[in-house]
Copies of this chain bind each other. A is one copy, B any other.
Amino acid sequence: MKIAVIGTGVIGESWIRLFLAHGHDVVAVDPAPGPLPDGVTVTDDPAEAVAGADFVQENGPERLDVKHELLAVLDAAARPDVVIASSSSTLRPTDLARGAPHHPERVLVGHPFNPPHLVPLVEVVPGEATSEAAVDAAMAFYAGVGRTPLRLHAELPGHLANRLQAALWREAYSLVERGVATVADIDTAITEGPGLRWAGVGPIAGQHLSGGAGGLRHVLEHLGPGTEALWADLGSPTMTPELVDRLVTQVAGTDTDALLARRDAVIRAVLTAREQ
């Protein structure tokens, strides 16, 4: 297949690596591309890029007006049966599709997690105009490049996984705001604690396991009232400049290259272990 990748930032570049690794031809569109993998064709003309494409992955700037301008070009140039998937993490597919007047039914969100060539999850979110055929084609396409597509049934701010992350970040920032924990404390608490389990077993299945023979029912009926009391104690921080400064100061000094290497090594190790 020939895949058009629109935008070659961090996410676009990782998509390109994935698609090439699965034997696809890739044409990338960027007015000012950085260094890209060998084997990709680069152009600054989106219409040219999608003219012969079988799938379009759009990774433009996260602004609806910019996306609409781009989608109008893509929609006019791509074959009518070709899915246009947007990596958008914040925009609704229904709103995106308004930018594709010819064939809004082939527009959807295909939201990856960084880096998409390693992390399998792709949230597939149809808009009001999206056809089932387009959803099916996107699900099959992502599965074909070794991803785990998850079809969502509602257009929600943050889709699904980012809502779960946002809930955790809110309490994390709140603890820093209150001065009862540092950024390092919080990161350690996750990587040395629940984060180790969540790579293998999801948060609800994990509770089911912790209930022993009684499973999730035992957990929820025993911990239910305690959980509600704990929820009531969770914080609602305001992202003031002072809180941002405190978070940024505490995270400073992180060796990002070492951390990136560790992140990717751990993801690869987990994926290998899960295949066995």
Contacts and interface: CB of A to CB of B under 8 A. Distances in A.
Interface in A133-170: 148, 150, 152-154, 156-158, 160-170
Given A181-B152, A276-B265, A157 B230 contact: yes
A246 to B, nearest CB: 11
A72 interface: no
**How many copies, total?**
2
B180 A233 contact: no
Contacts of A221: 244
B171 A163 contact: yes
A206 interface: yes
A121 B248 contact: no
A193 interface: yes
Contacts of A158: 230, 233
Contacts of A216: 247-248, 251
Contacts of A169: 203-204, 207, 227
A166 B234 contact: yes
A193 B270 CA distance: 12
Given A189-B150, A202-B195, A231 B170 contact: yes
Contact of A172 (B118, B194, B203): B203
A58 interface: no
Given A150-B185, A180-B154, A269-B273, A220 B248 contact: yes
Given A119-B197, A200-B263, 16 more contacts: A119-B196, A120-B192, A164-B186, A166-B234, A167-B234, A169-B203, A169-B204, A183-B204, A190-B203, A194-B198, A195-B198, A196-B199, A201-B259, A208-B251, A220-B244, A262-B274
